[in-house]
């Protein structure tokens, strides 16, 4: 069975980049019929916050990304201790006592000589006496995972294809700090192994971590999951922007963006499939395929999202939006107004135009006379069918007006505006009495 996980640290709200990773995990899992887990990477007690945990759950729910289970790293410290003890006993984890400054100096020296700043493993040469001296000084060690330099790192990435790393060109990663706290690397590998995660889908900023973690899986004697590293998301200006880091569900909601607009866009940007306005997620699940993902940075454009949102709003059924519409606005009102909306919230504004009062417009004498004539016709009209067509048809015949000269003053008098939904759909909603009053310019 396919098992995936989305693993945010609850140290902030989800941003559009995280959301995209969550979505791809979810789409992939729903296509294959497996389990999608939310794993909260909350080992850092100080920076993790319950409000963010709630916000992450709420954001996923708003997007429609239902989860099949939730795990918290803060409840699993005993598992990390156990793995740590086993790997240490097997000689795959070792203590190191360098201070941050000492390590920085080593890096600078290597870089100065034009060499890659790989950790020199000096800690492996410490004698019992050295260690006793450090301990006597009150130093506690941090801990490194010892890479096996003889085991080439290789995997077949679902997006990037075959990957190779020479472990000798990588530093043994620090997995635990002096104060005993955990870095991300080992707990994540332990969780993936123990939770039976079959596929890890994450950003390409984790590619090197994957190389290191593959050796951890191996050292723990467990099979590694399959990996898919997606190209990172950038702003329309082509850079990893700060703006994207603070763009999330909260902002989308404020802007009146529908969840399916976010889902439709993020599912497809950076892939060879076209971005299309979907109101239902099924076709996105159906068509999901890592083989369609490109290696180039994926570009997120707020204007593209807004345009996609409008196209989705134009397709939404009355039943879906009824809770969000103003009192009194029924299915006919929604269908008449929907084609003019960029967001569902704007429906209230147009409904206001239907119910009035509308803004008054100054007309010249001749146009005012024309509108009086229109009011007369409106009073005689059969309102049960094609009211707008009949009204304008009669006026055209009698006045010789056509095109803009015919339609614009009517629209202005009836709605107070120059543009808007089709008058044929709007006029029956405005209704006979209000229409006559507006044509007579009687508020
Ligand atoms: N908490 C890690 C992150 O947000 C998880 C990475 C992973 O998916 O393994 O970067």
pLDDT digits 0-9 by tens, 12-45: 999 999 999 999 999 999 999 999 999 999 999 9
Query: In the listed set 333, 354, 375, which residue is the last one of a domain according to the structure?
Result: 354
Same domain, 119 and 257: no
Same domain, 193 and 64: yes
Burial 109-125 (b: 16+ CB within 10 A, else e): eeeeeeeeeebeeebee
Same domain, 119 and 50: no
| 383 CA to centre of own chain | 48
Same domain, 378 and 413: yes
Ligand 1 contact via 41 beta carbon (within 6 Å): yes
Average pLDDT, integer, range 422-427:
95
Same domain, 240 and 95: no
Same domain, 157 and 292: no
Question: Which structure tokens are listed for 83?
Answer: 């793995």
pLDDT digits (tens, 9 = 90+) for 283-331: 999 999 999 999 999 999 999 999 999 999 999 999 999 999 999 999 9
At 239, is the pLDDT very low, low, confident or very high (cuts 50, 70, 90)? confident
pLDDT digits (tens, 9 = 90+) for 122-180: 999 999 999 999 999 999 999 999 999 999 999 999 999 999 999 999 999 999 999 99
Of residues 257 and 243, the one with the higher pLDDT is 257
Over 80: is that where the pLDDT of 443 sits? no
Residue 319 CA to residue 330 CA, distance in Å, equals 10
The pTM (predicted TM-score) of the whole model is: 0.93
The answer to whether residue 307 sits within a structural domain is yes
Could you give the number of structural domains in the chain? 5
Give the structural domain span for 210.
3-70+186-232
Half-sphere exposure (Cβ direction) of 427: Cα atoms closer than 13 Å? 26
With the most atoms of ligand 1 within 8 angstroms of its CB, the residue from 36, 41, 214 to mutate is 41
Query: In the listed set 215, 232, 249, which residue is the last one of a domain according to the structure?
Result: 232
Q: Atom 5, ligand 1: which residue's CA is nearest? A: 7
DSSP secondary structure code for residue 122 in this structure: G
Q: What φ, ψ does residue 399 adopt, rounded to 5°?
A: -105, -15
Ligand 1 contact via 73 beta carbon (within 6 Å): no
Concatenated DSSP letters of 251-313: HHHHTT--HHHHHHHHHHTTBSSPP---SSSHHHHHH--GGGB-SSPEEE-HHHHHHHHHHHH
SS percent in the chain: helix, strand, coil, step 5: 50, 10, 35
The answer to whether residue 61 sits within a structural domain is yes
Ligand 1 contact via 8 beta carbon (within 6 Å): yes
The answer to whether residue 306 sits within a structural domain is yes
* CATH code assigned at 35: 3.40.50.620
Concatenated DSSP letters of 322-364: GGGSPTT--HHHHHHHGGG-SSGGGHHHHHHHHHSPPPP----
The answer to whether residue 181 sits within a structural domain is no
Q: What φ, ψ does residue 176 adopt, rounded to 5°?
A: -145, 140
Q: What pLDDT does 284 receive?
A: 98
Over 90: is that where the pLDDT of 236 sits? no
* CATH code assigned at 377: 1.10.10.350
CB atoms within 10 A of CB 388: 19
Residue 263 CA to residue 19 CA, distance in Å, equals 9
Q: Atom 7, ligand 1: which residue's CA is nearest? A: 7
The answer to whether residue 362 sits within a structural domain is yes
* CATH code assigned at 163: 3.90.800.10
Ligand 1 contact via 187 beta carbon (within 6 Å): no
Query: In the listed set 354, 378, 406, which residue is the last one of a domain according to the structure?
Result: 354
Same domain, 84 and 170: yes
Same domain, 362 and 390: yes
Same domain, 373 and 433: yes
* Average pLDDT taken over every residue of the chain: 96
Same domain, 214 and 249: no
The answer to whether residue 386 sits within a structural domain is yes
Same domain, 52 and 190: yes
Residue 24 CA to residue 193 CA, distance in Å, equals 21
How far does residue 185's CA lie from ligand 1's centre (Å)? 9
Same domain, 85 and 164: yes
Question: Which structure tokens are listed for 27?
Answer: 């789409």
Residue 204 CA to residue 105 CA, distance in Å, equals 29
Ligand 1 contact via 56 beta carbon (within 6 Å): no
With the most atoms of ligand 1 within 8 angstroms of its CB, the residue from 22, 204, 206 to mutate is 206
Residue 443 CA to residue 440 CA, distance in Å, equals 9
Ligand 1 contact via 202 beta carbon (within 6 Å): yes
How far does residue 336's CA lie from ligand 1's centre (Å)? 46
Ligand 1 contact via 188 beta carbon (within 6 Å): yes
Q: What pLDDT does 237 receive?
A: 79
């Amino acid at each position: 069975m396919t098992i995936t996980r989305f693993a945010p640290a609850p140290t902030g709200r989800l941003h559009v980049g995280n959301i995209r990773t969550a979505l791809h995990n979810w789409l992939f899992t729903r296509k294959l019929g497996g389990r999608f887990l939310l794993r909260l990477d909350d080992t850092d007690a100080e920076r993790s916050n319950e409000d963010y945990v709630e916000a992450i759950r709420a954001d996923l729910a708003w997007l429609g990304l239902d989860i099949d289970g939730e795990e918290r790293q803060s409840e699993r410290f005993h598992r990390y201790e156990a793995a740590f003890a086993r790997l240490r006993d097997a000689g795959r984890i070792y203590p190191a006592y360098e201070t941050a400054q000492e390590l920085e100096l080593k890096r600078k020296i290597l870089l100065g000589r034009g060499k890659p700043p790989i950790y020199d493993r000096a800690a492996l040469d410490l004698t019992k006496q050295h260690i006793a001296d450090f301990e006597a000084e009150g130093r506690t060690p941090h801990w490194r995972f010892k890479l096996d330099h003889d085991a080439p790192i290789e995997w077949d990435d679902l997006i990037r294809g075959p990957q190779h790393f020479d472990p000798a060109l990588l530093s043994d990663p620090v997995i635990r700090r002096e104060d005993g706290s955990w870095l991300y690397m080992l707990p994540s590998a332990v969780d993936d192994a123990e939770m039976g995660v079959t596929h890890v889908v994450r950003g390409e900023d984790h590619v090197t971590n994957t190389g290191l973690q593959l050796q951890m899986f191996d050292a723990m004697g467990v099979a590694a999951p399959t990996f898919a590293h997606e190209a990172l998301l950038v702003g329309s200006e082509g850079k990893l922007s700060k703006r994207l880091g603070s763009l999330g569900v909260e902002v989308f909601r404020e802007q009146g963006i529908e969840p399916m607009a976010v889902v439709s866009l993020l599912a497809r940007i950076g892939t060879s499939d076209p971005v299309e306005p979907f109101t239902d997620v099924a076709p996105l699940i159906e068509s999901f395929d890592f083989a369609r993902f490109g290696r180039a940075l994926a570009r997120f454009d707020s204007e593209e999202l807004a345009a996609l949102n409008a196209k989705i709003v134009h397709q939404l059924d009355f039943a879906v939006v009824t809770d969000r519409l103003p009192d009194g606005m029924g299915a006919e009102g929604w269908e008449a107004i929907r084609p003019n909306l960029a967001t569902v919230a704007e429906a209230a504004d147009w409904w206001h135009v239907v119910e009035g009062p509308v803004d008054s417009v100054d007309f010249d004498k001749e146009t005012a006379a024309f509108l009086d004539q229109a009011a007369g016709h409106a009073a005689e009209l059969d309102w049960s069918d094609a009211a707008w067509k009949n009204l304008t048809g009669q006026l055209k015949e009698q006045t010789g007006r056509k095109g803009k000269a015919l339609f614009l003053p009517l629209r202005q008098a009836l709605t107070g505006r120059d543009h808007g939904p089709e008058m044929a759909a709007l006029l029956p909603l405005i209704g006979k009495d209000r229409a006559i009053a507006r044509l007579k310019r009687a508020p």
